[in-house]
A and B are shown apart, each in its own frame.
Chain A
Amino acid sequence: MASTEMFPESRYRKTEGLGVWEHRGKVAIVGLGNSPTSRRWDGTLETSLGAWTMLAAQKALDEAGITVDDVDGVIACDKGMGDDWGGDASQGRGYFEAPYDSEDGLSGVSAHWLVKNMGLKNVKMTYHAPGCLSTALVAAAQAVGDGEAHTVLVVRGTGNMPGRYHQTPGNTTGGNGQWTNPWGWQLIPQIAFGFDQYCRTYGKNHDMMAPFILNQRRNGSMFPEGFYYQNRPDDLQITAEDYLASRWICKPMNMNDCDLPIQTAGAFLFTTAERAKDMKKKPVYVLNHVTQRGVVRSSLETMAETEEFSAHIARKCYEGSGLTASEVDVFNPYDGFTLFTQWFLEGFGWHGVGKGEALDFYAGDIRVEGPHPFSSSGGNNGNGRTRWWGHYDTVQQLRGEAGDRQVQIKHETGISGAFTPGHSDWLVLGTSPD
């Protein structure tokens, strides 16, 4: 059976002091594609992640005006985000006929699966990148820059099977879980704890998040590719009272602070700046890419560590692109939990926002048509959880093709990334290669 290697760890840009990225402006994004969206997979092959990933990939190729034969590389984030088909909810159900006779194509899509099923006969490079499409995107930037491939499809299906996923049964716990599971510590209490520390330190409170959440939903109402736009437009009209009335998941995090797991697939097409000139879409150039893999001192990430991680990401983004904070037009950091987005806003110092100032900034004019169009994508809170809407929107904004979401300020550069301050990958993009 075919297989695909992980993109080598050594090729991610993780540290400060690397200088301007050696391929700055020499790699471009020339195609975007997104499949339809749904809350959960309905079990039909037409809406499987495999089928939807092929659909998204074809759209990205169509945008660029090229064919499957022009593609010579595929990088996939090959696992979805929920449980797999054999998980809790689907006990006893078997697989389908080939090519759907394993998890591949159902709960995730590998690079080799896509190559085979889309007939990408000229592909000479495949890689996987774990965890987040952002990781695959930065890998593609580096691979194209290095000349390992010239036209690369980057794909992920998110996947959401029926039922509650990641439930942890049993009375014993080993491995890393021995330190956390007896108390129920994991990502959600970490984020809630961090936000509580933030409020305690800076004298803020959870109610102050409402303007940001409402604006994310508003931006989602102008994002035709998004889940809510397509499936639940009423959920985009929530009021501050609705937001604050939703049930606690882990206080001070409520249900509306969490992005909704959905079923969808996305594709981004990368090529060289040289080849981009002959393609249909206006190229959006990659000015830098950054990877963050923070190491914590003890059992959890403290607020001091979170703030330092966020500032560290920003310094790396700025160093490798040569941009300064005031030169960043579009800014789409991950919001899926909304309670960590303030770390990015303050760490990057976008529009002069300093430590402890984000929640006050949210109360100002952050609409896309206003002077501070923060998170113009509407993020994952406004569009459902993919972790790629920020990248998608940034490309559309820089093309000037974001429709009703088009920002009215200058839109020549942008930064987007996911997932957390401790663990994330970032793209710095520009309309000019210079």
Chain B
Amino acid sequence: MGKMSPVPDEVSKPFWDACNEGKLIVQNCAGCKGNDGKDWLQHPPQAACYKCGTTENLTWKEMNGRGKIHGYSTMYDSRIRSLQEDQPFIIAVIELEDAPEIKMFSHLPGTPVDDDVPVGGTVQVEFQDTLGTEQKVAEWRVVS
């Protein structure tokens, strides 16, 4: 897939650098807990914690790299020029095993475009090259 390369900014750079090192990290506010009493995680990363609004406790947590297909749609007519030659393609929503409230996108490499995309199936992260720069992005492959 002809993915555009994300251009990191001050807030997102640690996330994208981690992708280049083969690690999946998510922003964490050490001062906050989620409703379930677990770590407060947020993605996409923000300049401040969006629960407490402060910046001083923001840090990063590495995720285990597993997730689940939450849902998807299949794109036939994208606005993104670099993706148009690969149409139709799946755009899946992945929820992280470590933090189901965190969602990421995937083209589900290896999964054919048909009506049998395994919603609820387990996926494993991998890191894929992009078109414009050396930047890698997180992608997800069905493992069961």
Interface residues of A (CB under 8 A from B): 166-175, 177-186, 188-189, 192-193, 196-197, 200, 247-253, 295, 297-300, 302-303
A-B contact pairs, 11 of them (CB 8 A): A167-B81, A173-B7, A178-B9, A178-B16, A181-B6, A183-B106, A193-B73, A193-B91, A247-B77, A298-B101, A302-B103
Q: A197-B71, A251-B88 are in contact. Are A184 and B80 (CB under 8 A)?
A: yes
Residues of B within 8 A of A168 (CB): 79-81
Task: Kindly report which residue of chain A lies nearest to residue B96, judged by CB atoms.
Answer: A298
List 16 extra interface pairs beyond A171-B131, A184-B91, CB under 8 A.
A168-B79, A170-B132, A171-B133, A172-B7, A174-B7, A182-B5, A188-B75, A193-B91, A196-B71, A200-B71, A247-B77, A250-B73, A298-B43, A298-B103, A299-B103, A300-B105
B130 at the interface (CB under 8 A from A): yes
Set of chain A residues within 8 Å of B63, measured between Cβ atoms: none
A178, B83: Cβ atoms under 8 Å?
Answer: no
Closest 9 CB pairs of A and B: A171-B132, A192-B73, A174-B7, A178-B6, A183-B105, A172-B132, A182-B3, A251-B74, A171-B131
CB neighbours of A174 from chain B (8 A): 6-7, 9
A169 / chain B contacts, CB cutoff of 8 Å: 81-82
A179 to B16 Cα, complex, angstroms: 11
Known A-B contacts A183-B91, A183-B106, A193-B91; A299 and B4 likewise in contact (beta carbons under 8 Å): no
Which chain B residues in 67-113 approach chain A with CB under 8 Å?
70-83, 88-89, 91, 93, 101-107
Contact of A171 with B5 at beta-carbon distance under 8 Å, contacts A193-B93, A197-B71, A200-B71 already known: yes
List, in ascending order, chain B residues with CB within 8 A of A175's CB: 9
Which B residue sits closest to A183, measured CB to CB?
Answer: B105
User: B105 — which chain A residues lie within 8 A by C-beta?
Assistant: 180, 182-183, 185, 299-300
